[in-house]
Amino acid sequence: MTTHIQSQLTQLARAHDIKILYAVESGSRAWGFASANSDWDVRFIYIHREDWYLSIDDKKDSIEIMLPDDLDLSGWELRKALRLFRKSNPPLLEWLNSPIVYLEDHDFTNQMRTAARTFFNPKSCLYHYLSMAKGNFREYLQRDTVKMKKYFYVLRPILACMWIERTNTMAPTEFHKLLDAEVPAGNLRTEIDKLLARKSVAKSWAKTPELMH
């Protein structure tokens, strides 16, 4: 699949006359708790030729394409990405730490990773993760039945908050790193590990008995 994705990105760059500076997997596959039928969520940053910027008109600064095989490609033009970076945009910071990289201009990513240490804003990231946890908790964990993966969609942002509070740095993208760092051996860890084990044997995300009482 990696080769296929790289090929699609190369075709896309040619079709739009852009240079892709960085392309990664985001979402559940990057976090490390994807199921076999999870989408491929590819995110990328690109730049146009100089002429594109020499215009009096604003132009579209993103590209979104959904391809067969659940391949979701979505990219931000570099200036848009940098404006979001200035606000310590958490998804963008996660992309920079994604364990699955499809394309990378190392000169660019070295600059971005260095800058990320300066532009990281704990409050902005805490708000992002807390909002995600609250939303998913309210939406999915208060029903009579819940999908297993929804546990992780609350757990991960909460563990990210814990990491940020403890280290004052951006949380790692991978769930297992967060889990190992923030939940030591004990009853809670045992319950999460059991949930992970159940998830890993599930063919797809089955429903499980009510969480909240």
Partner 1 sequence: MGEDARIDALNHFLEEKIEYYTQYLKDYQVLIQPDTEHLNRIFRTTLAG
Q: How far apart are CA 76 and CA 63, in angstroms?
A: 7
Rank residues 31 and 40 by Cβ distance to partner 1 and give the closer one.
Answer: 31
Tokens of 136: 């998913």
Rank residues 12 and 161 by Cβ distance to partner 1 and give the closer one.
Answer: 161
Question: Residue 93 CB: number of other CB atoms within 10 A?
Answer: 23
Asked if residue 82 binds partner 1 (CB under 8 A), the reply is yes
Asked if residue 107 binds partner 1 (CB under 8 A), the reply is yes
Q: How far apart are CA 64 and CA 44, in angstroms?
A: 10
Asked if residue 158 binds partner 1 (CB under 8 A), the reply is yes
Q: How far apart are CA 150 and CA 142, in angstroms?
A: 11
Among residues 34, 67, 192, 202, the one that binds partner 1 under rule CB under 8 A: 192
Q: How far apart are CA 53 and CA 31, in angstroms?
A: 35
Interacting residue ranges for partner 1, rule: CB under 8 A: 21, 47, 50, 53, 78-79, 82, 85-88, 105, 107-108, 111-112, 115, 118-119, 121-123, 126-127, 130, 133-134, 137, 141, 151, 154-155, 158, 161-162, 165, 187-188, 191-192, 194-195, 208-213
